[in-house]
Amino acid sequence: MSAHSDAPRPAPPGPGRPKDPNKRAAILDAARRMFTLHGFAGASMDQIAAEAGVSKLTVYSHFGDKSALFATIVRMYCEQSLPDALFEPAPSVPLRERLMDISRAFFGMIGSPEAVAGHRVMCTPQANDPQLSDLFWEAGPMRIQQAFAQLLRRRIAVGDLQIDDVERAASQFFVLLKGDLHARMVLGHCDASVTDGIEEHLQASVDMFLRAYGARGRPQPSTPA
Nearest-angstrom CA–CA distance, 200 and 98: 16
Number of Cβ within a 10 Å radius of residue 214: 19
As a whole number, the mean pLDDT across the chain is 83
The pLDDT score that the predictor gives to residue 19 is 76
Q: What is the residue type of 109? A: M
* Delimiting residues of CATH 1.10.10.60 domain(s) in the chain: 21-64
Exposed / middle / buried, residue 23 (Cβ in 10 Å: 0-12, 13-18, 19+) = middle
- Compute CA distances 205 → 75, 120, 127, whole Å: 25, 24, 29
* CATH number belonging to the domain at 86-213, selected among 1.20.120.160, 3.30.530.20, 1.10.357.10, 1.20.1300.10: 1.10.357.10
Helix (H, G, I), strand (E, B) or coil at 165: coil
6-14, long-range: CB < 8 A, 24+ apart: 6/44, 6/45, 6/46, 6/65, 6/66, 7/65, 9/60, 9/64, 9/65, 10/56, 10/57, 10/60, 10/61, 12/60, 12/61, 12/64, 13/61
Number of Cβ within a 10 Å radius of residue 203: 16
- Compute CA distances 114 → 80, 97, 101, 146, whole Å: 13, 27, 21, 23
- pLDDT < 50 regions, the chain: 1-5, 7-8, 11-16, 222-225
The pLDDT score that the predictor gives to residue 196 is 72
C-alpha triplet 124, 127, 129: angle, nearest 5°? 140
Helix (H, G, I), strand (E, B) or coil at 192: coil
Q: What is the residue type of 124? A: T
The fold adopted by the segment(s) 21-64 is: Arc Repressor Mutant, subunit A (1.10.10)
Helical pair 66-81 and 113-121, crossing angle rounded to 10 deg: 140
Nearest-angstrom CA–CA distance, 218 and 142: 30
* Delimiting residues of CATH 1.10.357.10 domain(s) in the chain: 86-213
User: If we measure between CA atoms, which residue out of 69, 178, 194 comes closest to residue 121?
Assistant: 69
The pLDDT score that the predictor gives to residue 146 is 94
